[in-house]
Amino acid sequence: MCKALMPGEEESINDEAIWETLWVAISMVFFVAGTIFTLLKLS
């Protein structure tokens, strides 16, 4: 779908989307791990 909309910039668009998704995923993992660790320490 992105290729059909923006044929000229598919590589840079994909790279940016991948990096944004990667950072969000890493942040979520750290957030979830920190929350679980805190809950375990409190209980």
- Per-residue pLDDT, 26: 96
Q: Inform me whether the pLDDT recorded for 23 exceeds 80.
A: yes
Confidence of residue 20 (pLDDT cuts 50, 70, 90): confident
pTM: 0.53
Residue 6, phi-psi category: left (phi > 0), alpha (psi -120 to 50), beta (remainder): beta
**Mean pLDDT of the region 17-21:** 86
- Per-residue pLDDT, 12: 63
| Amino acid, single-letter form, for residue 39 | L
Residue 10: count other Cβ atoms within 10 Å of its Cβ: 13
